[in-house]
């Protein structure tokens, strides 16, 4: 059975706050949302052919000790522009680093503690 696509589900303790990264920082748009008691508990995000679901994290809103969660590896079209935009939004981004495996990368940790790596082949840099 071939797979046509995959839509990752990203749990969040505060979806409104998470949208700052996803919409303002990464250029996604909210295509659908569900609210309960006027609080955002689910939304679909889209940027071109990329889709993600954000939903309210079940259980405690506190990240358990030692929890690593998901890690996302992004391939931006312009790594410098992406890094500067995220930095201008107040995110603590790492310096650009050239890796021995041929990628140029930087990292940030979002408000939910998830690690985001942004990388391009060094020849694109």
- pLDDT tens for the chain, residues 1 to 125: 575 677 898 989 899 999 999 999 999 999 999 999 999 999 999 999 999 999 988 766 666 777 667 888 999 999 999 999 999 999 999 999 998 888 999 999 999 888 899 999 987 66
Which residue, 65, 70, 77, is CA-closest to 53?
A: 70
Domains of the chain: 1-58 (3.10.180.10), 69-125 (3.10.180.10)
Which secondary-structure segment (H or E) carries 99? Answer: none
Locate 36 and state its tokens: 């309960």
* Token pair 């679901």 in the structure block, residue: 53
Locate 31 and state its tokens: 């295509």
Locate 19 and state its tokens: 């949208």
């Amino acid at each position: 059975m071939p797979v046509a696509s995959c839509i990752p589900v990203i749990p969040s303790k505060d979806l409104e706050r998470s949208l700052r990264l996803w919409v303002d920082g990464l250029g996604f748009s909210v295509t659908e949302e569900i609210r309960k008691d006027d609080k955002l508990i689910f939304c679909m995000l889209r940027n071109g052919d990329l889709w993600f679901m954000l939903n309210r994290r079940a259980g405690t809103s506190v990240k358990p000790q030692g929890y690593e969660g998901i890690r996302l590896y992004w391939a931006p079209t312009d790594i410098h522009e992406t890094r500067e935009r995220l930095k201008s939004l107040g995110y603590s981004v790492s310096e650009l680093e050239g890796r021995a495996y041929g990628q140029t990368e930087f990292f940030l940790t979002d408000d939910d503690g998830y690690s985001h790596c942004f990388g391009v082949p060094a020849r694109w840099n």
